[in-house]
């Protein structure tokens, strides 16, 4: 299992936003479509006030003693959560355009200054536009 950590997941999240794999939620598990057509099973577990995650793909659960690598399946499952998606847009905006107003840009593009008024698809498109 891997401990969730924003820095570690940055690259995985970028790939997840680019690839946009098909995701199905089954109870506490997420089935994320892999590039080979199979599906990777992602689970999140809360333990000791920390969120841990695991993925059934070769990167997420290596057979040898190598440590698991954060994969885009976990990131994609995370980004199906609206709160995580909104947080990702805010952090991407402040990193890519630290001196520009997010609210003004939102208003010009979407007619609203409220990030939470955007659909999940629009939020993903903002991430892609920020080349996140
Ligand atoms: Zn994976």
Let me know: does 31 contact 20? Beta carbons within 8 Å: no
Kindly give the distance from the C-alpha atom of residue 69 to the centroid of ligand 1, in angstroms, as a whole number: 8
Kindly give the distance from the C-alpha atom of residue 62 to the centroid of ligand 1, in angstroms, as a whole number: 10
pTM for this entry: 0.72
- Burial (CB count <10 Å: 0-12, 13-18, 19+), residue 42: buried
Kindly give the distance from the C-alpha atom of residue 121 to the centroid of ligand 1, in angstroms, as a whole number: 22
**Rounded CA gap, 11 and 8, in Å?**
7
**Percentage of the chain exceeding pLDDT 90:** 36
Write out pLDDT tens, residues 29-70.
999 999 888 999 999 887 777 778 889 998 887 777 777 778
State the alpha helices, DSSP H only, in 20-119.
72-78, 82-96, 102-110
Kindly give the distance from the C-alpha atom of residue 118 to the centroid of ligand 1, in angstroms, as a whole number: 28
Kindly give the distance from the C-alpha atom of residue 9 to the centroid of ligand 1, in angstroms, as a whole number: 12
What single DSSP character describes residue 60? T
Its sign, for the CA torsion 5, 8, 12, 14, is: positive
pLDDT value of position 132 = 58
Kindly give the distance from the C-alpha atom of residue 27 to the centroid of ligand 1, in angstroms, as a whole number: 18
């Amino acid at each position: 299992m891997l401990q969730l950590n924003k820095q570690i997941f940055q690259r995985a999240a970028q790939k997840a936003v680019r690839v946009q794999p098909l995701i199905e939620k089954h109870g506490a598990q997420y089935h994320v479509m892999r590039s080979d057509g199979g599906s990777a099973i992602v689970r999140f577990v809360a333990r000791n006030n920390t969120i841990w995650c695991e993925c059934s793909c070769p990167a997420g659960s290596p057979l040898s003693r190598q440590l698991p690598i954060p994969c885009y399946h976990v990131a994609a499952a995370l980004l199906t959560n609206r709160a995580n998606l909104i947080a990702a847009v805010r952090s991407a905006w402040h990193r890519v355009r630290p001196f520009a107003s997010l609210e003004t840009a939102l208003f010009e593009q979407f007619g609203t200054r409220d990030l939470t008024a955007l659909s999940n698809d629009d939020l993903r498109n903002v991430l892609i536009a920020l080349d996140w």
